[in-house]
Amino acid sequence: MFNRNRSLQRVAAIVSISLVTGCSLLGEESSDDAGPIVVGTTSAPSTLDPAAAWDGSWELFRNVYQTLLAYPYGSTTPQPDAAKSCRFTDASSRTYRCELREGLTFSNGDKLDAKAVKHSIDRIKAINAPTGPAGLLGSLDQVTVSGDNVIVFQLNKADATFPFVLATPAGSIVDPDDYPANALRKEDGIVGSGPYRLEGYEGGRQAKLVRNDNYKGYADLKNDAVTIRYFQDSGDMVAALRKKQIDITYQGLAADDIVALESEGDTGGLQLVEGAASNINYLVFNPKDKWADRLPVRRAIAQVIDRPAIAHKVYKDTVDPLYSMVPKGLTGHSTGFFDDFGKPDAAKARRILADADITTPVPLTLWYTTDRYGSDTALEFKEIKAQLEASGLFRITLKSRPWNTYVLGYQNGEYPVFGRGWSPDFPDADNFIAPFVGEQNALGTPYPEKEITQVLLPRSRQESDRANVVKDFERAQQIFVDEARLLPLWQGKQYLAANEDISGGERSLDPSTIMMVGELYRKTSW
């Protein structure tokens, strides 16, 4: 494990986000005379239209589109952004009313009013894109407006999590003149009302953001421009950081990079900022595949998988083993997979298959994406293959694709078993259960689990006090364990590596670990 006790005096200091609340790193804010701050990430957008994205595209959207509610630094509950105020107007949490700020406009100067908000939300449901966030709006019945500034959301059932949904980029407000009501936008670029406007975009390469002078909301930008560069390989990204071609990294640092940066100490000239995170990594079993559809096969894999080995050998203990789809740190977290399966045991797995008269080795193809979750993904799947084949029970073939085509593959049901990562839309256990079940879900693989969708989630959403829903969440997690359609592997930590003249990294991550690039700035002195 890493040494967490080094002094903050060192240049390669490790700063825990939880310990620096209300503080900045050393130095004062500076002007942007040195040009835009350049952020590197391995997570490129798959689209520029909010109606088509329920993935890492949100990292860009959060900074260029505006939502009614958002998360100012230090807040874990949604606060007004485009809205002046929002609240439930009834005791049953079924009518939600928002009033807009006065004088809102889009980056092109067009008026942003209640009709634009209604248009933005309605089109997500109308288009219902396979890759889009319509699944988050399942409790929404209709949107009505009153005058220019009042929007009322009528829900078809009680949903105390609805404000959280409006605070996600699924609630991005778009210009009705530029975004069709019933079709995805074909033009390049973005017309939003967020803190930045998109000045230039090269798909898969970079996005140039400049301050949006028309923005009215909670964000107080610490810089005037940010360029986001997209890398396919974390090694190339770190090399660019060392050469000062970029100023800070966001997503995609590989474990070896983190260990190397940590070990450099005073000689590295870089900061490594570490913060708690709730992103998770897991396997999905496709019921359309004849082997993945068989419960004994899934349970045998669950019995063999060695999570601590993955965390240590592949990720150098920069991630933690995870035994539930709800990560540690959230109300309702459990350890169901450990409770039921215990430590990895090939003999137990063999009995599971033998009792079902399944001949071994079972042939399975495992798929992963090459450019979404960092360069360690390929190593992780090689380790999973090695573990499963070492048991003598499985014969594994590994295949991979870049993210844009990978998404289409799992949505079309092509993959027997595939890897996914999940960063929360909002910080509530609901968001680690609801997105994965139902006929339409974030996996593109229908999972019609009625007890969860018709009993547990509806009941839990009637509770505004989330401490009262622990039993329902624990039951939902046990269903996941019993059916083993999803197999949690590890929970991540968030690492940002930055040049020594960059500050604000510790303030830049919102509760869903999306980077708010407006918090970044250059220091004038140490």
Residues in the chain: 526
Those residues whose C-beta lies under 8 Å from the C-beta of residue 404, and which sit 6 or more positions away, are 46
Token pair belonging to 287? 């019921």
Report the distance separating Cα 508 and Cα 71, nearest Å. 11
Position 443 scores a pLDDT of 86
Position 253 scores a pLDDT of 87
Q: Which residue has the tokens 């942003």?
A: 112
Report the distance separating Cα 212 and Cα 229, nearest Å. 20
DSSP codes, 144-207: EEETTTEEEEEESS--TTHHHHHTSGGG-B--TTTS-SSS---SSS----SSEEEEEEETTTEE
CB of 148 within 8 A of CB of 103?
no
Query: Residue 12 pLDDT > 70, yes or no?
Result: no
Report the distance separating Cα 322 and Cα 306, nearest Å. 11
Position 18 scores a pLDDT of 33
> Using CA atoms in the order 163, 167, 171, 175, what is the torsion angle rounded to 10 degrees?
120
Report the distance separating Cα 428 and Cα 343, nearest Å. 28
**For the chain, percent of residues with pLDDT exceeding 90:** 71
Report the distance separating Cα 305 and Cα 20, nearest Å. 37
Nearest to 304, CA basis, from 353, 233, 355, 243: 353
CB of 488 within 8 A of CB of 494?
no
Query: Residue 22 pLDDT > 80, yes or no?
Result: no
* Side-chain-facing half-sphere of 347: CA atoms under 13 Å: 1
Position 440 scores a pLDDT of 78
Position 33 scores a pLDDT of 59
Dump pLDDT digits (tens) for 208-221: 999 999 999 999 99
pLDDT band at 524 (very low <50, low <70, confident <90, very high): low
Report DSSP state, residue 280: E
Nearest to 107, CA basis, from 1, 43, 197: 197
Those residues whose C-beta lies under 8 Å from the C-beta of residue 265, and which sit 6 or more positions away, are 6, 10, 11, 12
Q: Which amino acid is residue 122, in one-letter code?
A: D
Q: Which residue has the tokens 């240590």?
A: 312
**Region 64-79 average pLDDT:** 90
Query: Residue 70 pLDDT > 60, yes or no?
Result: yes
Report the distance separating Cα 169 and Cα 124, nearest Å. 11
Report the distance separating Cα 398 and Cα 380, nearest Å. 11
With both helix axes pointing from N to C terminus, report the angle between 234-242 and 255-264 in degrees, rounded to the nearest 10.
20
Q: Is 326 exposed, middle or buried (0-12, 13-18, 19+ CB in 10 A)?
A: buried
CB of 70 within 8 A of CB of 84?
no
Report the distance separating Cα 333 and Cα 346, nearest Å. 27
Position 222 scores a pLDDT of 96
Beta bridge partners, 66, equal: 173
Those residues whose C-beta lies under 8 Å from the C-beta of residue 162, and which sit 6 or more positions away, are 93, 96, 139, 140, 153, 155
CB of 131 within 8 A of CB of 45?
no
Position 232 scores a pLDDT of 87
Position 511 scores a pLDDT of 74
More confident residue, 375 or 300: 300
Token pair belonging to 417? 């078993």
pLDDT band at 321 (very low <50, low <70, confident <90, very high): very high
More confident residue, 240 or 204: 240
Position 15 scores a pLDDT of 35
Token pair belonging to 509? 């991550």
Cα 25 vs. chain centroid, distance in angstroms? 25
SS3 content of the chain, % helix, strand, coil (to 5): 30, 25, 45
Query: Residue 11 pLDDT > 50, yes or no?
Result: no
Angstrom CA distances, 318 to 61, 158, 301, 492, 497, stand at: 27, 39, 24, 7, 14
CB of 137 within 8 A of CB of 170?
yes
Those residues whose C-beta lies under 8 Å from the C-beta of residue 526, and which sit 6 or more positions away, are 26, 27, 500
Query: Residue 150 pLDDT > 80, yes or no?
Result: yes
Query: Residue 131 pLDDT > 90, yes or no?
Result: no
**Region 48-69 average pLDDT:** 94
Dump pLDDT digits (tens) for 235-282: 899 999 999 999 999 888 888 888 888 887 545 688 888 877 888 999
Position 77 scores a pLDDT of 86
Position 29 scores a pLDDT of 43
Token pair belonging to 1? 């494990």
Position 329 scores a pLDDT of 87
Position 30 scores a pLDDT of 42
CB of 469 within 8 A of CB of 463?
yes
**Region 460-486 average pLDDT:** 93
Query: Residue 7 pLDDT > 50, yes or no?
Result: no
Beta bridge partners, 79, equal: 70
